[in-house]
Amino acid sequence: MRFHARTAARTTARTTRWGTAAVTAAVLTALAGTQHAGAAGAEAGGTGERAAAQRTGASLGVLRHDVAAVRKAGGGKVKVLAEIRDGRTAVRARAGSGKPVPWNARFRAASTTKTFTAVVLLQLADEGKLSLDDTVEKWLPGVVKGNGNDGSRITVRDLLRQTSGLYDYVDDPELAGVLQDFEKYRYDTTPAASYVAVAMRHKPLFTPRRGDPPRWAYSNTNYLLAGMIAEKAGKLPWREQVEHRVIAPLGLRATHAAGANPFMPGPHARVTLPLPGKDGKPLDVTEHSLQHTADSAVISTTRDLGTFYRALMTGKLLSKDRLAEMKQTVERTDDPDDVAAWPKGGYGLGLRENPLSCGGSYRHHEGDGFGSYTRTGVTDDGRRAVTVSLTSDGGIPDQIRLNSATRKLVDHALCGTDG
């Protein structure tokens, strides 16, 4: 998802995958006046963590400081867990009031799922089961049509690198009431095809351009279609392919692609948002079925996501040529919301690239769901990775401040002590 600096209501809608009126401006204004930083409560995992920090070159003190800064940027109403992985060693820190986030907490990775989906499509391409230059119409005849939408002009590559121009289904006004009446929609399992149909009610933002650079705009609709194509080409449900092709081979035992089951498995932090609950307190939104599609369904841990991104960058999931293709980025031309969130860098095939202060760049994909925020980063050689999980604890963070703080944390983590 992406964020916008000008309107808090639209910002919140981006982070929750639904329409622009998801939370009223009055609620957000009240929150802005009541949120406070509070005590950071940052801590790390004991003497073993210090030894790991020495071996990896990561600074435990810097990570603690950055985690506390991220919590402060979130208005003091987020719980933060961060982990730096380098080989078999890890350095971790956490912050938050009340019951601490478990070190092995599971969380909804939201749009970080898009990298998993892109890997599945690229593996299918490696196996000759599809081509990135295949059109959407070839695989899903008649699905993308009407109101100027034309699946014969959009390729699989366009879907994965966000150059299709398709309307983002989460912006549809009819989906705006999800947070306003969360209990009504909590167990919704609307299939991907139905959400694509919602997007088809709207004109595309643009027609894909074959020039250089192509036009670009972030749309979750792209990854719904990518998942549907994966099911046709791979002859298995998208969730099963993620399990068989990525999760099982890498031994990601705490990771799975969520389906209709609303419950969070294993240790996790509770997620609360300032929405009207039955008792008047912030609403617990931990359990729900809303994020079950190929744009947002993965549930994971900081450890597993670090393992995933390092494996991806070191060639354990894709051929050398296909990985190089995945890492080729395009300029983000038509999306001020996205540029506000990520001022520098480009977008590849389900993978962003952003610069490091120490030189070079890192790869990642963010994720934002219902009060759960994920930030990732991996060095281009796959040597070091960092994952940050943030959980709303009764507030809605300012996304511009939060993104700025997490970018600094990722930069310091990947550059090392002197970052």
Nearest-angstrom CA–CA distance, 396 and 73:
11
Picking from 71, 74, 50, the residue whose alpha carbon sits closest to that of residue 61 is 50
**Please, which residues bridge with residue 140 across strands?**
none
Q: Which of 143-152, 240-249, 263-272, 331-340 has the lowest mean pLDDT?
A: 331-340
Instruction: Please provide residue 171's backbone torsions phi and psi, each rounded to the nearest 5 degrees.
Output: -85, -5
Q: What is the mean pLDDT of the chain?
A: 86
Is 179:186 a contact under the CB 8 Å cutoff? Answer: no
pLDDT in tens, 83-133: 999 987 899 999 999 999 999 999 999 999 999 999 999 999 999 999 999
Sorted by where each starts, the structural domains of the chain and their CATH numbers stand as 8-415 (3.40.710.10)
Sequential DSSP letters for 177-196 = TTTTTHHHHTT----HHHHH
Nearest-angstrom CA–CA distance, 108 and 64:
23
**Above pLDDT 90, what percent of the chain?**
74
Retrieve residue 188's tokens.
């919704």
Picking from 276, 392, 274, the residue whose alpha carbon sits closest to that of residue 29 is 274
Catalytic residues: 111
Nearest-angstrom CA–CA distance, 8 and 53:
38
342 pLDDT more than 60: yes
Q: What is the model's pLDDT at position 58?
A: 57
- 43 pLDDT tier (thresholds 50, 70, 90): very low
Q: What is the model's pLDDT at position 114?
A: 98
Is 369:380 a contact under the CB 8 Å cutoff? Answer: no
- Segment 331-341 shows an average pLDDT of 91
Q: What is the model's pLDDT at position 258?
A: 97
8 pLDDT more than 70: no
Q: What is the model's pLDDT at position 93?
A: 97
pLDDT in tens, 19-35: 322 332 222 222 222 23
Please give the sequence-ordered ranges of beta strands (E in DSSP) within 238-360, or none if there are none.
Answer: 256-257, 272-276, 282-284, 298-300, 346-347, 352-355
Q: What is the model's pLDDT at position 175?
A: 82
Q: What is the model's pLDDT at position 416?
A: 85
Rg (CA), the chain: 20
Distances (CA, A) of 252 to 63, 87, 292, 309, 321: 24, 16, 19, 12, 25
Q: What is the model's pLDDT at position 364?
A: 98
Picking from 299, 292, 379, the residue whose alpha carbon sits closest to that of residue 85 is 379
pLDDT in tens, 293-302: 999 999 999 9
CA angle 398, 399, 402 (to 5 degrees): 90
- Is 142 strand, coil or helix? coil
- Segment 327-339 shows an average pLDDT of 93
CB atoms within 10 A of CB 134: 15
Alpha-carbon 29 to chain mean position: 26
- Segment 383-404 shows an average pLDDT of 94
pTM over cut 0.75: yes
Q: What is the model's pLDDT at position 5?
A: 27
Q: What is the model's pLDDT at position 174?
A: 83
Nearest-angstrom CA–CA distance, 273 and 371:
7
pLDDT in tens, 165-222: 999 999 999 887 777 788 889 999 999 999 999 999 999 999 998 777 899 999 999 9
Q: What is the model's pLDDT at position 88?
A: 78
CB atoms within 10 A of CB 226: 26
Nearest-angstrom CA–CA distance, 271 and 267:
13
Q: What is the model's pLDDT at position 279?
A: 73
DSSP, res 351: -
9 pLDDT more than 60: no
Q: What is the model's pLDDT at position 26?
A: 24
Q: What is the model's pLDDT at position 89?
A: 86
14 pLDDT more than 70: no
Q: What is the model's pLDDT at position 56?
A: 53
Nearest-angstrom CA–CA distance, 337 and 56:
35
pLDDT in tens, 399-410: 899 999 999 999
Instruction: Classify the C-alpha dihedral 10-371-80-381 as positive or negative.
Output: negative
pLDDT in tens, 244-286: 999 999 999 999 999 999 999 999 999 999 987 677 788 999 9
42 pLDDT more than 60: no
Is 2:218 a contact under the CB 8 Å cutoff? Answer: yes
- Segment 347-351 shows an average pLDDT of 98
